[in-house]
Structure 1
Amino acid sequence: MESIKDLVSEKKEEMFSPAVNLCSFVSSSAYDTAWLALIPDPARPGQPLFRQCLEWIMEEQKEEGFWGEGGSIECLPASLACMVALQTWEVGPCNVGRGLAFVHANVEKLLREEDGAFPRWFCIVFPAMVELAQAKGLNVLPDGLTDVVASIFHQRERFLEMEASSCEAYHPPLLAYLEALPPSYGHIGHEIILQNQNKDGSLFQSPSATAHAFMVTGNEGFKLYLESMVQRCGHGGVPPFYPVDEELIKLSIVDRLERLGLSEHFSEEIEDVLFHVYMNWTVQEEEEDKKERSTLVPIHLYKDSLAFRLLRMHGYRVSPRRFCWFLQHEDITSYIEENYNCLLSTLLNVYRATEVTFLGENELEEARSFSRTLLERGLTMKMRRIIEHQLALPWLARLDHLEHRDSIEGSKSNDYLWMGKACHYRISCLNDDKLLQLAMENYTLRQSIFKNELEEVTRYIETLDDNHISKVVIGGTGPLVSWPSPPYLGLAFKSLFARLVPGK
């Protein structure tokens, strides 16, 4: 018990203290950090502007030799970008050597596993990183990959030509990939870049695109954005998006605590988060900034469905329209259907939100059917286990204690929220080792309590006579329940009896 109390106090301080830097909870993007490391200092062109980013790259290389997340094509552009940054400043030759060894040993397997179905972001970013690495004298592609690589380059050209398609607005726009656009796309002048600069100084809130925009234009607004981000993050690595949505981080923490069975230890903190989210919802205007909504549909839908479910589960009156808005836009639903493989975590959140449906809420029924259909298509992908579990067992038929155990055991199998521009958006504290330790100790404690209760019930059952029919009277109202003598029915009744009549 003391260990649990100490861990609870420690995690409360780390996750809910007013002084906590929520930006530090978002896992760093090796790809974006590499682009900041490439920026030369205007005052000293022979030195990097953000040396801490370069140091982060050298420190955060995985033991196997890659950067980013291993086991998928996601690590390839990140690893190439990091090697380019190190090669540019002529540092970390051992890191570069290990990186090249990993790429040579794994690139063919990772690419062929996709069976030619490469996502849009990869077809834009990977060819650009290959070209950049080769320009720096790095031989990153082994022999025997000509057909696969040529296919990816061909798909890049096709995506660039399809920029004006009907659903294009719901992807990150091509200018958000400014650093990866090839010369064949055409010259992008300073004026066009500056026209797309956000009020916060960024280019579509993308650190990598903003880094390249600053190197091209020298605009002071881009520089101030990058400096502010590096200072706020504090450890050298930068997130895939900035600024981060702090409200979404808090909601994700609440959801994680509940799934791990820890909500009882953080009840005040959870209620405080949900109250503030609800107050923001009630004062928020219905129409959001069109440009922001159009380029961040997955993020909006993920957050809205998560907030809806948590608020409704905690007794708040919220309308399904707060997250079913996507059903009213045919172009958005078409975009989701065409790109469902990159949106599985968002679709899973939508499906979970529809579990708290009241009679007559047709929008929720429609959202449930829509999300279930697309999730069933995703059963062959990375999230197979969690999707199968979600679809197979109705929410009301689940046992909380077993759900908590399942979340603990599967904590590393689905640690991301959604796919960003070049990597998945992850919140590192959701799978923090101490949080998982707390969850396991709390689960073990509960298990011991249940075991003791079961032993008490068993002893009680053993005191009963051998009659085949037993009758129990509650409150003097006459026979309420009768059951045959098999012990498991007696156990079930005794558990219910103990809850209804404490002390009996």
Structure 2
Amino acid sequence: MPVEDQIREQLLNARPPPSSYDMPWVAMVPAPGSPQASRFPQCVDWILRNQRGNGSWGSAPGRDIGGEPWSLLGKDVLSSTMACVLALRTWGVGDEHVGKGLRFIGHNASFVTDDRSDTPAGFNVIFLGMLAHGIDMGLEIPIVGARILGFPTPMTPANVDAILRLRDTELKSMGSGTPTAAAAIHNYNGRALDYLDSLISRFGSSVPTVYPRNAYSRLRMVDTLEKMGISASFSGEINNILDSIYSSWLAKDEEITQDIATCVMAFRLLRLHGYDVASDELAQFSEESSFYDSVQGYLNDSEALLELYKASQVQIFEAEPILENIGSWSAKLLKQQLCSNKISRSVDPQEVEHVLKFPFYATLDRLEHRWNIEHFRTGSFHMLKSAYRACQVDEGMVALAADGFHSCQALYQQELQNLKSWAKEMRLDELEFARVMPLLSEARLAYGMKNILVTVVDDLFDVGGSKEELENLVTLIEKWDAHEEVGFCSESVKIVFRAIYHTSNLLGAKTAAASMAEAEWRMKGHVPSLDEYMAVTVPSFGLGPITFTSFCLLGPELSEQVVRSRDRFLNNLRTYEREEEQGKTNSVLLLDPRYGGSIEAAKRETTSALAASRRELLRMVVRDGGAVPRPMRQEFWNIYKVSHLMYSEEDGFTSTSRETLCAANAVVHEPLAWRLGGKIESPAAAASDKL
């Protein structure tokens, strides 16, 4: 099956895989009125069919478990194997399977005390209790010694009574059928059986590790596709999923609200996709104590913390103290976990460092796609009472994302060559004062040209031109077609004006010529081929000359102050020292007198104004924009992110910082590298051709 079809299947039917640990517990529940037979014989059959050749259930020594070394999951496999052995012995079937399972346990008993192996919740009690229960059943356990004696069995009467007092929703929130099955085994309780019946009815013999986590699995899949840059191919499926999640959000479905990671991931994705979700719904996580009081806090769950921090970053209103609080304490705990090397195995420490360093508004989408492709772990697992994978992703998906990235690189490289040729044709490379560093299809090329021209004009007015030259350029632009009447006072003015004049005319001429070709087709009744049609209609659509200027005209919600101020604030924070030396004004310098000459106080005020402007811009982008389509609004956000990258540490235009050049080369030139050490060669990247 093609990778795209596999992904669609997972999006539409996000069914968790069967659990080698939960299956035997459910299999041990006796049938009503027939305590010598299983109520769920299909689970017994599954156990008989799924033993590995080495005698284990789960994974096998010497193999990787979804990319994770066997040694990390040794205790989990021992637990699953022992539970399956007990289930088969309970019903007197599979003697050969039982023997092989016991031999496997004996050969790998060292994992019981191996600190390198991840420990399932309650392992020390449950596993040794299973061994003691097996001895009571007459099994010859190849692990002997007084250390296993005196440990309680997995379910004492007190444990069972506590479970039976739970409400139905609490039974579900325990995450699996195991504790409920244990209650049904020890005390034939109708409510526990009803829950197990619903589990089997939904999943057949495939009892999952965690239930219900369907919402989490689907959200994780959507997030993964977006992080790797391939979500556009599945937009219909993703929209359907988010519509469903939003309905559950409005209904306060416990599958959403009772799990930290699910709740905050739903909030983040829904808000960024334009759904109306209030941060008040996250009030239960506002304080640090809420984490420590949860199961995730008990397990020191780094993933939940990371999702909390990501959600805190999508502020769109000035007063969202809940998100501010969550961001503060979650960042603190993540940093503590990094420093103490306590990051959960399910999370890559490099990802935590990356997210803390680069909030989602501070990096480019293509840089994020590259980072996530190169650092993606196809089989990262979570460990509760047993190991499970929340998102079934294989190297096929990573390869699909890499293909898409390299295709974009090839296009960017061609666009860059076109910009270089244009700059040379316009003689912009002859201007000593100009910073001609083109980093940026029709719309992107037009924007790149205009961006370069704006930079050149800015440099002329800042440092390169005399008063006579500046006045001459202004007059030439006012006269436009009659510029010959004015004349050029210098060669620099001549180059700058002709670049502006010819480029503006060129973009308009291309659009007019393409529109004329379409008109001739219509008049002559000509039916073009698809290639011919696309070659003409893309420029005739007018993206080049109208896209970015039309944004400013079509969007009444995107006020001039919002569009301009955020980039200007970023620029001023990084250029105030240079501009002060040049005798120029700057918002930081203008604020300086208000704070008694304190530059640091003025910088803090500018940073605060920048944050407020960013929140307002994001709110206008993600919420209903009226007549302005979402893709247009999104471009303003993309431009902001470019500006943030350019001015994050210094003036990226003037300094040509190593970080800026590395970012540009990573997007345009450098081939991807697999995290596992292999290399994916870019079909168009040339190692010697750098910006």
What residue number does 1:502 align with?
544
Q: Given residue 443 of structure 1, which amino acid in structure 2 is its aligned partner?
A: F
1:389, 1:203 → 2: CA distance? 32
Q: Given residue 427 of structure 1, which amino acid in structure 2 is its aligned partner?
A: A
Q: 1:206 to 1:361 in 2, by over 3 A?
A: same
What residue number does 2:134 align with?
133
Deviation at 1:89, TM superposition (A): 4.0
Q: Given residue 364 of structure 2, which amino acid in structure 1 is its aligned partner?
A: L
Alignment partner for residue 212 of structure 1, among 182, 196, 201? 182
SS at match of 2:409: helix
SS at match of 2:133: helix
What residue number does 2:220 align with?
252
Deviation at 1:316, TM superposition (A): 3.2
1:409, 1:87 → 2: CA distance? 46
Alignment partner for residue 432 of structure 2, among 460, 465, 468? 468
Q: State TM-score, norm by structure 1.
A: 0.70
What residue number does 1:309 align with?
268
Q: Does the CA contact (< 8 Å) of 2:106 and 2:141 recur in 1?
A: no
SS at match of 2:313: coil
What residue number does 2:58 align with?
67
1:419, 1:305 → 2: CA distance? 20
1:309, 1:14 → 2: CA distance? 21
Deviation at 1:351, TM superposition (A): 1.0
Tell me if 1:55 matches 2:45. Answer: yes
Q: Does the CA contact (< 8 Å) of 2:228 and 2:373 recur in 1?
A: yes
Alignment partner for residue 405 of structure 2, among 443, 460, 470? 443
Deviation at 1:344, TM superposition (A): 1.6
1:201, 1:373 → 2: CA distance? 33
Q: Does the CA contact (< 8 Å) of 2:216 and 2:390 recur in 1?
A: no
Q: Does the CA contact (< 8 Å) of 1:37 and 1:48 recur in 2?
A: yes
2:165, 2:373 → 1: CA distance? 47
Q: 1:478 to 1:428 in 2, by over 3 A?
A: closer
Q: 1:305 to 1:201 in 2, by over 3 A?
A: closer
- Of stretches 346-355 and 384-393 in structure 1, the one that deviates more from structure 2 is 384-393
What residue number does 1:240 align with?
209
1:477, 1:214 → 2: CA distance? 74
1:83, 1:108 → 2: CA distance? 19
Structure 1, residues 154-206: CA drift from partner, whole Å, max 9, x if none? 8x8xxxxxxxxxxxxxxxxxxxxxx8234xx65956xx765446279979564
Deviation at 1:238, TM superposition (A): 0.5
Q: Does the CA contact (< 8 Å) of 1:336 and 1:343 recur in 2?
A: no
Deviation at 1:456, TM superposition (A): 3.9
Alignment partner for residue 28 of structure 1, among 18, 24, 30? 18
Q: 1:96 to 1:460 in 2, by over 3 A?
A: farther
1:408, 1:56 → 2: CA distance? 36
1:389, 1:467 → 2: CA distance? 39
Tell me if 1:355 matches 2:323. Answer: no
Deviation at 1:303, TM superposition (A): 1.8
Tell me if 1:427 matches 2:390. Answer: yes
SS at match of 1:180: coil
Q: Does the CA contact (< 8 Å) of 1:79 and 1:99 recur in 2?
A: yes
Q: What is the percent sequence identity of the aligned residues?
A: 26
Deviation at 1:309, TM superposition (A): 0.8
Q: 1:461 to 1:128 in 2, by over 3 A?
A: farther
SS at match of 1:74: helix
Q: Does the CA contact (< 8 Å) of 1:201 and 1:224 recur in 2?
A: no
What residue number does 1:108 align with?
110
SS at match of 2:457: strand
Q: 1:395 to 1:237 in 2, by over 3 A?
A: same
Q: 1:138 to 1:276 in 2, by over 3 A?
A: same
What residue number does 1:269 align with?
237
Q: How many residues align?
A: 433
Q: 1:439 to 1:119 in 2, by over 3 A?
A: same
Q: Given residue 215 of structure 1, which amino acid in structure 2 is its aligned partner?
A: I
Deviation at 1:90, TM superposition (A): 4.8
Q: Does the CA contact (< 8 Å) of 1:124 and 1:181 recur in 2?
A: no
Q: Does the CA contact (< 8 Å) of 2:58 and 2:81 recur in 1?
A: yes
Deviation at 1:317, TM superposition (A): 3.8
Alignment partner for residue 346 of structure 1, among 298, 304, 309? 304
**Is there any run of 5+ residues in structure 1 with no aligned partner, and where?**
157-178, 485-496
Q: 1:375 to 1:482 in 2, by over 3 A?
A: same
Q: Does the CA contact (< 8 Å) of 1:57 and 1:82 recur in 2?
A: yes
**Is there any run of 5+ residues in structure 2 with no aligned partner, and where?**
60-64, 437-448, 464-503, 508-541, 547-691
Q: 1:12 to 1:66 in 2, by over 3 A?
A: closer
Deviation at 1:254, TM superposition (A): 1.9
Deviation at 1:97, TM superposition (A): 5.1
Higher relative contact order (CA 8 A, sep 6+): 1
Tell me if 1:412 matches 2:377. Answer: yes
RMSD of equivalent CA atoms: 4.4
Deviation at 1:362, TM superposition (A): 2.8
What residue number does 1:385 align with?
350
Q: Given residue 369 of structure 2, which amino acid in structure 1 is its aligned partner?
A: H
Deviation at 1:350, TM superposition (A): 0.4
Alignment partner for residue 11 of structure 1, among 7, 14, 18? 7
Q: Does the CA contact (< 8 Å) of 1:67 and 1:82 recur in 2?
A: no
SS at match of 2:286: helix
Q: Does the CA contact (< 8 Å) of 1:326 and 1:333 recur in 2?
A: yes
Deviation at 1:230, TM superposition (A): 1.8
1:218, 1:338 → 2: CA distance? 31
SS at match of 1:375: helix
What residue number does 2:360 align with?
395
Q: Given residue 81 of structure 2, which amino acid in structure 1 is its aligned partner?
A: S
Q: State TM-score, norm by structure 2.
A: 0.53
Q: Does the CA contact (< 8 Å) of 1:203 and 1:213 recur in 2?
A: no
